[in-house]
Structure 1
Amino acid sequence: MNKIDMAAQMAGKAGFIAALDQSGGSTPKALKGYGLDETAWSNDEDMFALMHEMRARIIKSPAFTGEKVIGAILFERTMDGEIDGTPSAQYLWEQCGVVPFLKVDKGLEEARDGVKLMKPIGGLDALCERAVAKGIFGTKMRSVIDVANRDGIAAIVAQQFEVGEQIRRHGLMPILEPEVTITIADKADAEDILLEEISNHLNKLPENTQVMLKLSLPTRANHYRPLIEHEKVMRVVALSGGYARDEANGKLAQNAGMIASFSRGLTEGLSAQQSDEEFNATLTAAIDSICEASKAG
């Protein structure tokens, strides 16, 4: 698969990134939103199989193409699975024109200094090697900021860049995701500190090096414009962070150059009980609205 074409699409094409990477504890909640409760499975393998079926249904929809969905973030089990007999990442790029990414983090540590760092990612080098072999373009990893604490935010950003460099050495594009919780009282202050810390680390990166950033929609519109314009940032994408799709779209449209990378915002309204016609119509409307919001800024 052509990494040059993938990089060009990620750097400059209009559209958004679909986040199809729910894992672990978030899987039952995602399936419940899809109309499947705990009675639909008897063990974890059945649960993850249902999740793969949901993701495959989304990916196989006529609306899910690189015309508007320029990338998709996959869970490891999805990467290792197949869609109609074709490895998932290969199917995404060759059949849909969508650039494949892989979620690599293994969850969060307990809170300290107002943040939750990533747990150690055991076997990351081996996972990156598998991802490269399967045609994955880049990775994504999430940590969480709950308080505008400079020490905590500095630790979050340092960890993201450190692990990002390890990933980059494998020829993969790291998406760094230091999420700011949208409900905290000092969110704007946390975003000020985050912008400063990220900028400092970007300025220390070697020449001709780039990362991507996945950030919470900011309190002040265009707050992250300096990152969007930074030569060492390929793209800045936004997570919906718990906002309903319409509200997330409205906030995104106020931020020039930022594009969506929504999960719940994308799957809102989809149901296992829908006919294919109903499912595809609902997904088409979601994709259209998120794409327009991504262009609006």
Structure 2
Amino acid sequence: MASAAFADMKKQMAEGQGFIAALDQSGGSTPKALGLYGVTEDMYDGEAAMYDEIHQMRTRIITAPDFTKAKVLGAILFERTMRGEVGGKPTALALWEDRGIVPFLKIDKGLEAEANGVQMMKPIPGLEETLKEAAGFGIFGTKERSVINEANAEGIAAVVAQQFEVGKTVLSCGLVPILEPEVNIKSATKAEAEEILKAELAKGLDALDEGQDVMLKLSIPTVDGLYDSLADHPRVVRVVALSGGYSTDEACERLARQPKMIASFSRALAEGLTKQMSDADFNAALGSNIDKIYQASL
């Protein structure tokens, strides 16, 4: 990617008003996402047809009138979406050139079984090759997710160490990683886990060299403003929030109390959208969701 485009994307992510759309449901979550979209498993035959349906859904979102940089700063893509096209262009180029939206790629391959109260990322085979391919497509950054289920200091330290290890590989390939150690919103020890996570993240950030800038994607904290100091860290481009299973309204209400977090919502963005809707109804419903999430991110 040309350095000028990269610099423009980084400035938009650091300073822009808006949120990141998560369009990165993968193999396991695709049938569920399609089901919510009104496309049941008896309506397509096989994996290729399933992915075709989800690409059509994402294309409909990306090309909707309100899906522009006026409110949507970035979008996270699944690998197949990156390799696909929207309006005859590779998806990442269509996002940036036609909509002004910064493209990211989901790179994690799912979660290990729980141990020490956390779920680490599974190994990511061929990561450097994928990152080079992503850079060629014009992708700006990546996202990788692990999950914290309880306030286990050893487990949380291991999750954060793995996140930074993968993040450094991403940085070495010229992309900006979004580190996503998600705290389960149903955890009985959520607030305690978040305090431990904050301290571990601060240690990891302090160890980065100048120019090794990252983003953080975190569950909306129990204590309002908990992550403000991380947002102000010189190595952090932006701190974004995941909806984590909250309804759109609850996620937005909680996010509005976090002065230095913006949204990166998936299910909340597509809530109430179905394939059967007319384009006018679809665009109106999506526009309403976009506006709600945008207002909460301000």
TM-score category of the 2 structures, normalised to the smaller one: over 0.9
The alignment's TM-score, normalised by the length of structure 2, stands at 0.98
Q: Which runs of 5+ in 1 are unaligned?
A: none
Write the deviation string for residues 28-61 of structure 1: whole angstroms up to 9, x where unpaired.
Answer: 0000110111111110110011000000000000
1:90 aligned onto 2:93: yes
Selected match of 1:133 from 124, 133, 136? 136
1: CA distance between counterparts of 2:260 and 2:16?
11
Which residue in the other structure is 1:48 paired with?
51
Which residue in the other structure is 1:294 paired with?
297
1:223 aligned onto 2:210: no
1:282 shift after superposition: 0.3
Q: What RMSD over aligned residues (CA atoms) do the two structures have, in Å? A: 0.6
1:24 shift after superposition: 1.1
The alignment partner of 1:261 has SS state of strand
1:188 shift after superposition: 0.2
- More moved, 112-121 vs 203-212: 203-212
2: CA distance between counterparts of 1:242 and 1:16?
17
Which residue in the other structure is 2:104 paired with?
101
The one-letter code of the counterpart of 1:164 is G
1: CA distance between counterparts of 2:174 and 2:193?
31
Which residue in the other structure is 2:239 paired with?
236
2: CA distance between counterparts of 1:44 and 1:286?
29
1:257 shift after superposition: 1.4
The one-letter code of the counterpart of 2:171 is R
1: CA distance between counterparts of 2:42 and 2:247?
26
1: CA distance between counterparts of 2:255 and 2:156?
23
Write the deviation string for residues 170-215 of structure 1: whole angstroms up to 9, x where unpaired.
Answer: 1100000000000011000000000000000101111232100000
Which residue in the other structure is 1:279 paired with?
282
Which residue in the other structure is 1:176 paired with?
179
Q: How does 1:115-194 map to 2 (within 5 A)?
A: 115-194=118-197
The alignment partner of 1:201 has SS state of helix
Which residue in the other structure is 1:257 paired with?
260
1:109 shift after superposition: 0.6
2: CA distance between counterparts of 1:238 and 1:176?
11
2: CA distance between counterparts of 1:84 and 1:67?
20
Which residue in the other structure is 2:76 paired with?
73
The alignment partner of 2:239 has SS state of strand
1: CA distance between counterparts of 2:68 and 2:202?
33
